[in-house]
Structure 1
């Protein structure tokens, strides 16, 4: 299906008039979806359509119905922190596509790009933590939302299996620990989870951080979101070693801000789950189905393994334990 084939969907969503022929411009950055800027008579919008097979080296299939749940996540999050999500303009089941406000890169840079360039501001990281925990806390207080996100199978297929299960196959000595993380995560049902809180999916706009790409939306364990994001702040210390100390300051700021907002369960219990997940996710980003693209050197990957594997085998209860081990590895 080519971009113009989405024109009927735009008309069904009420965004394109019957005689209108908008211009489609493909946008880069998506491995799981096709994304376009669409210039309509009323102005530009962003249209996203889920792919049945992700653009990675491994054979990674995922149901396109996840587009529907992404749209639902956006609606819920907008009701809690409106400035933290693009405005949802429509969703079309038949095309597996959604339309949202187009956020120009000039005033909504990607956080990953800023981190790459050494712009690692702990105040930005803290606000990411505050907004994320507000969404988790508000949804934890509304358990009726669980019925709108029957996505256990999708979350397993596009998060738990390619990350933790695949990594268990690559590391038999850590398999029991990794598979135990899978079972604990699957069984923990607390709040609405984004599932892909990564710096590449966070825009830094004039009103603060904006979360995008909630294709993995799931009613489950919010500890996954926190661990997933903190993981990237650690790994980027290998990508940009000159900024590693600043990334660790961002790690601290995000974790502290987030944990201060945990009110649906004891914060210590929550932190323990996040701390135990984090080494598994560290290892998964070098040996799972979706390795980070910026760590290509075998020596870098070995450093990740050297930190992650002992922590998997002797699980920590505090995020600070992982931060300390990583700082020691980086000689900070």
Structure 2
């Protein structure tokens, strides 16, 4: 997004009028969106996010920009369930594909991924993350209104199933039938509202607990995907940070415990089976 586009959005949304001094800083690190920090003269600090049609990666990875509106809708849902677990939603303009949310300072909200990579493994934090994901799944399970609002199967296929499972099937033809079966089952299991990118890089460690970011893949589907996706990252950290393997395994178990403490929307054995089948596929991906 250009600075004039950003200024126009801030003005039209009523967040920051054109005559109010502000400092605009592009935030780096993401590949799927332009994100700017806006520091206003009155002391407010917020973020504006706009989805990119072409992701900032080497491959030609195109993605529907409508995901910005679905991320906004996911935040709106989540803030009604667990307001401390998401940034404060401030304004949205679907016509230009932008939304604004509260800015969370890294000094008070470090990224969980960085803590894990540095060898700082908080088992109770992992349990809290599992609990938050479980509570959001529980609050959204078996709801026809959310199934209709987040009928985003095409987006989810393009952003998650295709690059992870379908692409892996092409790389490993001996496993193609199993991977395609996982794709089909995952795509046809509408049970709860799925975040789609629950990974440590998208989780901030806040004073009141974990904060989830980047719900661009939001989709009403199989909650097993969120569970397996995050647990996969914890397992992979065992390879990257081998001297903390025991603690990471304990964090894995705590995450699962926190999740199932918060859910009863389907028999645990059924959800665990789907997670267990997704997990090695995601790890291979």
Normalised by the length of structure 2, the TM-score is 0.97
Q: 1 CA distance for matches of 2:245 and 2:32?
A: 29
Unaligned runs of 5+ in 2: none
Confirm or deny: 8 A CA contact 2:23 2:40 kept in the other structure. yes
Q: Relative to 1, partners in 2 of residues 1:3 and 1:176: Cα closer, same or farther, differing over 3 Å?
A: farther
Q: 2 CA distance for matches of 1:141 and 1:134?
A: 14
The alignment partner of 1:16 has SS state of coil
Query: 2:277 maps to what in 1?
Result: 276
Confirm or deny: 8 A CA contact 1:47 1:97 kept in the other structure. yes
Query: 2:177 maps to what in 1?
Result: 176
The alignment partner of 1:209 has SS state of strand
The alignment partner of 2:18 has SS state of coil
Instruction: Write the mapping of 1:199-214 to structure 2, written as runs, cut at 5 A.
Output: 199-214=200-215
TM-superposed CA distance for 1:228, in Å, is 0.3
Q: 1 CA distance for matches of 2:25 and 2:262?
A: 40
Query: 1:15 maps to what in 2?
Result: 15
Q: 2 CA distance for matches of 1:57 and 1:21?
A: 37
Q: 1 CA distance for matches of 2:56 and 2:120?
A: 29
Q: Does 1:81 align with 2:49?
A: no
Query: 1:231 maps to what in 2?
Result: 232
Q: 1 CA distance for matches of 2:110 and 2:268?
A: 32
TM-superposed CA distance for 1:41, in Å, is 3.5
The alignment partner of 2:211 has SS state of strand
Q: Does 1:24 align with 2:27?
A: no
The alignment partner of 2:109 has SS state of coil
The Cα offsets for residues 2-29 of structure 1, whole Å up to 9 and x where unpaired, read as 2342111112221111323522111122
Of 166-175 and 237-246, deviating more is 237-246
TM-superposed CA distance for 1:260, in Å, is 2.8
Q: 1 CA distance for matches of 2:137 and 2:144?
A: 11
Query: 1:302 maps to what in 2?
Result: none
Q: Does 1:122 align with 2:92?
A: no
Normalised by the length of structure 1, the TM-score is 0.83
Instruction: Write the mapping of 1:1-332 to structure 2, written as runs, cut at 5 A.
Output: 1-42=1-42, 43-284=44-285
Q: 1 CA distance for matches of 2:160 and 2:3?
A: 28
Of 136-145 and 250-259, deviating more is 136-145
Confirm or deny: 8 A CA contact 2:7 2:18 kept in the other structure. no
The alignment partner of 1:112 has SS state of helix
Q: Relative to 1, partners in 2 of residues 1:4 and 1:22: Cα closer, same or farther, differing over 3 Å?
A: farther
TM-superposed CA distance for 1:106, in Å, is 0.2
The alignment partner of 1:259 has SS state of helix
TM-superposed CA distance for 1:141, in Å, is 4.7
Confirm or deny: 8 A CA contact 1:4 1:24 kept in the other structure. no
Q: 1 CA distance for matches of 2:184 and 2:26?
A: 39
Let me know the Cα RMSD of the aligned residues. Answer: 1.2
Q: 1 CA distance for matches of 2:150 and 2:61?
A: 22
TM-superposed CA distance for 1:40, in Å, is 2.1
Confirm or deny: 8 A CA contact 2:35 2:48 kept in the other structure. yes
TM-superposed CA distance for 1:269, in Å, is 0.3
The alignment partner of 2:176 has SS state of helix
The Cα offsets for residues 245-281 of structure 1, whole Å up to 9 and x where unpaired, read as 2111111100122123221111100110111111110
The Cα offsets for residues 72-115 of structure 1, whole Å up to 9 and x where unpaired, read as 00010111111100110011112211110000000000000110
Confirm or deny: 8 A CA contact 1:12 1:92 kept in the other structure. no
